A and B are shown apart, each in its own frame.
Chain A
C-alpha cells in the first residue's frame, strides 16, 4: 500500500504483444521498402536524389517529416509544458515564412541550376574555399546531429521499454544502415512519409484522450489559470523591448529577427537535410511546391504536440523538473508519460511505433544528406575525380556505412544537455545562420565576391561561438538559453553582412557572365520548361499555396495572442 501511494515517476510502458506486433509490422515494411528500392537504384542520382522522380505530395510530406524527428516532438512537447503556447513561434513565425520563401523565391535558383546539393550551390556562386568550408561544416554537423538523435532515442527507449541503451543504439542504427544503404534517398523519403502518418495516428488519440481527461479545452484553460500557468496561454504578451516577462525570455525583436528570420530561414532554406527532399522532386513545379505543401502540416502539428505539453503542465506540472536525475520526471518525458497515463493497448502500439519510427527517420534524414554531400562534394570534387557513375554509387553506400558508424560512436560519447532542443539549435545557429547570410547577400547582390563569402562565412560561425562561450561563463548575459540562441543567430547574421559587404568593396567579384541563374535579376530561370500536364491546375499554383500558408500562419496566432 505504501508503494502504491508514492508518485509514479517512471515512464515505463506496459506493452502487450499486440503493441509489439504493430512495431514489428512497421519495421518489416521499412526493410521491405529498402529491398524493393534497391532493385530500382541504377545510378548514383537514383541513390542520392531518388533520380529526381518524386511527386510533390511525397516530397512535401518528407520535407516536413525530416524535421519532425522524435527529438523535435519530445522537445517541443517539453517546451509546451515549460513555456506553453509560446512554443507556437517555432511552428508559425519560426517556420512558415521561411518555407514560403524557399518555395517561391529560392527554389527556382536551386532546382534551376541543377545543383545536387546546397554546398554545390555555394561552389557555383562563390568558388572552392567557401565550398570546402561549407561541405565540411555540413558533413560534421549532420553526423553529430545523427548521433545526438540516436543518443536521445536510447534514453527514451530505455525509460519506455526497458531496453539497455546500447541495444537501442545498435538496433536502430542497424535499421537505418540497412535501409539507407539499400535504397538511398528513396528509402529515406518513403519512410519519412510513413512515419508522418503513423506519428500523427499516435498523437491525435493522445491529444483527444488528454483533452477529455482535463474536461476539454475550457477545462484546460481553467486549470492552467488556477496555477501560475496563465502565462502559458499567450504567445506575444510580455515581449516588449526592455520589459520582457514572457517565458522565452526574449523580446519581440529577438523573436521576429532571431527566430523568425535568421534561424528559421537559415534552417529551412539552407539546411541540405531539408532541401534535399525538394531536390528529389520530379520537376521544377513539384520542387517549388515541396516546402509549400510541407507548410500546411507544420501549421497544425502544434495542436497535437504543444497541446499535450499543456495538458501535462495542467495535470502533472508539479512533478516536472527541468533537470534530469534518478527518479525524476523531466519536461522531455511528457509525451511518454501521457502515453502511459492515457493510451490503452492498441493505440499505444501505434504511438510507440510512431515515436520509434520518427527517431529513426530523423537519423536517416541526416545520414542520407551526409552521404550525398560527402560523396559528391568532398570525395568526387576533391579526392577521386572523373570516375564512372558506378564508382560514386558504390562510394555512396560505403559512406553511408561510415556515417552510421560515426553516428553510433557519437551517440555513445554524446554529452548530457539540459534541453535537447536548445543544444540542437545552438548547433544550427553556428552553421545555418551564417550560410543563410552569405546566400542571401550573394543572391541579391552580384557584387558580392568569393573572398568576402569565405571570410564572412567563417566569421559568422566564429561570432556566435564566442557569444555562446561567453554565455556559458556568465549566464546572466541572457535571460534564458533560448534567448542566447536567438541573439547568437542575429549576431552571426549581422557579422556576415558587415564583413561580407566590407570585403566585397575591395576584392574582385565573379564576372557577371558566370552568375546566370545564380543571382536575382541576372539571366532568367525557366520555370515552365519541364512542366507536365496537371501542373497548371489552379490549386497547384505556388503563389496561391504560399499565400494560403501565410494567411493561416497569422490566423493561428489570433486565439493565443
Chain B
C-alpha cells in the first residue's frame, strides 16, 4: 500500500508526516552548523592577526568556519532532496498498537 500523493492521506497522517520531517535530524544539524559556521567565520575575519600568531600562520577560524558553513548547507540540501519517505513515517504510525503489545512483552 504505497501512498504517493498527498490527497490520499488523512489529516492525521499528513500532520504526522509534516511533524516528522520538521524534526528531521538533518535540519537540526544544518541549523546548528550554519550558525556555528557563520560565528566562527566572522571571528576568523575579526581576529585574523591574533589567530595567526597562535596557530603559526593558519587562519584556522576562517577555514573551520567556512567548512562548518558548507557542512550545514550540505545537511539542508540532503534533507531537501531526500526527505524521509512517507511510507516509513506512516508505517510507524500504523504500528502503534503493535508497539504497545511489544512494550507489554507480548
Contact = CB atoms under 8 A, between A and B. Distances in A.
Given A342-B55, A344-B50, A51 B99 contact: yes
A197 B23 CA distance: 18
Contact of B104 (A33, A48, A343, A386): A386
A193 B64 contact: no
Contact of B40 (A29, A213, A346, A534): A346
Nearest to B61: A346
Nearest to A22: B36
Contacts of B51: 344, 346
A85 B43 CA distance: 35
Taking residues whose C-beta sits less than 8 angstroms from the other chain, chain B's interface range is 35 or more
A25 B32 contact: yes
Interface in A279-318: 282
A347 B96 contact: no
Nearest to B105: A380
Contacts of B23: 36-37, 40
Interface string B36-55: 10011001100100110011
A36 B27 CA distance: 14
Given A194-B29, A213-B56, A344-B54, A387 B104 contact: yes
B71 to A, nearest CB: 7
B90 to A, nearest CB: 11
Contacts of B33: 197, 201
Contact of A58 (B25, B58, B105): B25
Contacts of B105: 376, 380-381, 385
A306 to B, nearest CB: 21
A312 B84 CA distance: 44
Interface residues of A, number: 56
A342 B54 contact: yes
B102 A344 contact: no
A346 B44 contact: yes
Nearest to A62: B25
Contacts, number: 133
B64 A389 contact: no
A532 B87 CA distance: 9
B81 to A, nearest CB: 14
A265 interface: no
A44 B98 CA distance: 12
A346 B28 contact: no
A346 B92 contact: no
Interface in A355-388: 376, 380-381, 385-388
Given A22-B36, A345-B47, A346-B43, A388 B104 contact: yes
A201 B99 contact: no
A343 B60 contact: yes
Given A197-B71, A346-B43, A55 B58 contact: no
A45 B103 CA distance: 5
Nearest to A54: B25
A116 B102 CA distance: 9
Nearest to B39: A18
A199 to B, nearest CB: 13
A194 to B, nearest CB: 6
Interface string A28-69: 010001001100101111101001110100100000000000
A304 to B, nearest CB: 13
A58 B105 CA distance: 26
Contacts of B36: 22, 25, 201, 350
A344 B39 contact: no
Interface stretch (A153-161, A204-212, A537-545): A204-212
A268 interface: no
A440 B33 CA distance: 43
Contact of A51 (B19, B40, B47, B95): B95
A17 to B, nearest CB: 11
Nearest to B50: A344
Contact of A282 (B56, B67, B88): B88
Contact of A25 (B35, B50, B55, B63): B35
Given A45-B100, A346-B39, 11 more contacts: A18-B39, A40-B23, A43-B100, A51-B92, A51-B99, A55-B84, A193-B25, A197-B71, A201-B71, A346-B44, A350-B64
Interface of A: 18, 21-22, 25-26, 29, 33, 36-37, 40, 42-46, 48, 51-53, 55, 58, 114, 116, 190, 193-194, 197-198, 201, 204-205, 208-209, 212-213, 282, 342-347, 350, 376, 380-381, 385-389, 392-393, 532-534
30 contacts: A22-B39, A25-B35, A25-B36, A52-B95, A53-B88, A193-B25, A194-B29, A194-B32, A198-B32, A201-B67, A204-B64, A208-B60, A209-B55, A209-B58, A212-B55, A213-B56, A282-B88, A342-B55, A344-B51, A345-B47, A346-B39, A346-B60, A346-B65, A347-B60, A381-B105, A387-B104, A389-B104, A392-B103, A393-B103, A534-B85
